[in-house]
Structure 1
Amino acid sequence: MSDLLYVDLLIEGRNFVLNSGNEPVLCNNSQSIGQDIVHSILESGLATDLIAERSPTMRGDIFTQLELLIESDERIEPGTVVINEESKTRLWITANTWDFGPLSVRAEL
């Protein structure tokens, strides 16, 4: 599966990654999917809700919303999303993609 199905600009720490010639670095396939997942979480506002929420029940509800959000991506196999909280501002997300197998990505909230 060396075909480039998804190509995007690489973003780390909310900034474009530039090479030595100050040109944007590209990412593709599973790295691009992982990057899209992180951006969808940040743009949804659920990350802010999760940081602000103290109730375990309500936090569980937000995690469910996050799973549903990630599973709504047509490139992700439904039922394979697992979200682990490393800290109050860091999530570790694993899922299976249809075309590229397992995917792991860290989201800094």
Structure 2
Amino acid sequence: MAEYIDLRISKDDVTLDAGGQPVLLDGRASIAQDIQHMIRESGLLVDIIANRDARARRTNLVRITMAVDDDERIVPGTTVISESALGEYWLTATTVKYGSISLQLGA
């Protein structure tokens, strides 16, 4: 049995299967979803997208990076946030047990 199990959340609601039962996530997917929710709840990503000041954006990116690195399931120092040419932000990090994760950050 997996060490980390979570309910799959999509569109701010629990995802149900065809039988009406909650869909479960485990391992790497559970950690990635937890990180997405932590970032969203922090409000820092909204400030990055809404702010024109490059210094303030970089500061918030560092805050997000530090928050992810503080998660006990993430190898400290492995979190990297990059911005694509389209203004999208991508986070990569290495989990302690499940290898690397990569996710697109969205407000």
TM-score (norm 2): 0.90
How many residues are paired up? 106
Q: What displacement does 1:108 show? A: 1.9
Query: CA RMSD of the aligned region, Å?
Result: 1.4
Kept after mapping to 1: 8 A contact 2:90/2:104? yes
Residue 79 of structure 1 pairs with residue 77 of structure 2? yes
Distance in 1 (CA, whole Å) between partners of 2:7 and 2:26 is: 8
Residues 6-15 or 28-37, more deviating: 6-15
- For 2:21, the equivalent position in structure 1 comes to 23
Amino acid corresponding to residue 11 of structure 2 in structure 1: G
Q: Percent identity?
A: 39
| SS of alignment partner, residue 99 of structure 1 | coil
Distance in 1 (CA, whole Å) between partners of 2:5 and 2:104 is: 19
Which segments of structure 1 move beyond 3 Å, counting only runs of 4 or more? none
- For 1:40, the equivalent position in structure 2 comes to 38
| SS of alignment partner, residue 92 of structure 2 | strand
Distance in 2 (CA, whole Å) between partners of 1:22 and 1:4 is: 23
- For 2:3, the equivalent position in structure 1 comes to 5
Distance in 2 (CA, whole Å) between partners of 1:24 and 1:105 is: 22
| Unpaired segments ≥5 residues, structure 1 | none
- For 2:55, the equivalent position in structure 1 comes to 57
| Unpaired segments ≥5 residues, structure 2 | none
